[in-house]
Amino acid sequence: MTSDAAAVMVIPVPAGISMRDAACAPIAFATVEHMLFDNAKLQPGETILVHAGGSGIGSAAIKMAKAIGCTVITTVGDDGKVEKAKALNPDLIVLDVSMPVMNGLEAARILHEIMPSVPVILCSLHTDRILEMEARSAGVDAVFSKAENMQTLINKARELLNV
């Protein structure tokens, strides 16, 4: 590699950004750019599901998809990611009733408090009227049984997003 080619690959670290964060950002954002735009050919206006939206790669994917005008559905898998979801501004959130540390119903309550306009779908292995009533009182917009086929979840998401 020539020195000119190597120089093109050097990016100055902006003021206020730690060296650690500066070193990590290109990995996450370059990975997401490659997956969303080179591989998936994501276009403005499309809908995308980002699994683990609170992770580094997930957060970058949400930011990049929202930046081009996509509708973003994301999953939130633990209590540490619930608060992070607010900053990411997804269009719909999918939770599992069984989350590490925090119950999915409690996560739904918190999400409903901090993001009342963002619909939430709660997934559970088994659903019944009691769970559905508890979910509704927690601010959940729809309950999905994992025993149902994936098309049912897709249809619920479309209905909540009006797409």
Q: Tens digits of per-residue pLDDT, 129-152?
A: 999 999 999 999 999 998 888 899
**pLDDT-derived band at 35, boundaries 50, 70, 90:** very high
Q: What are the residue ranges spanned by the domains of the chain?
A: 17-161
* pLDDT at site 99: 81
In the CATH hierarchy, which top-level class contains the domain 17-161?
A: alpha beta
- Alpha-carbon gap, residue 157 to 152, rounded angstroms: 9
State pLDDT tens for residues 40-93: 999 999 999 999 888 889 999 999 999 999 999 999 887 778 888 888 999 999
* pLDDT at site 1: 56
CA 15 to chain centre: 28
Looking at the chain, how many residues does it have?
163
Among residues of the chain, what percentage have pLDDT more than 90? 61
> Comparing C-alpha atoms, which of 38, 92, 37 is closest to residue 65?
37
Provide the mean pLDDT of the chain.
Answer: 90
Q: What is the mean pLDDT of residues 27-48?
A: 95
**Cβ-based neighbours of 74, under 8 Å, separated by 6 or more:** 49, 50, 51, 52, 53, 58, 62, 85, 88, 90, 92, 93, 94
Burial status of residue 160 (CB atoms within 10 A of its CB: 0-12, 13-18, 19 or more): middle
* pLDDT at site 2: 62
For 123, the 3-state DSSP assignment is strand
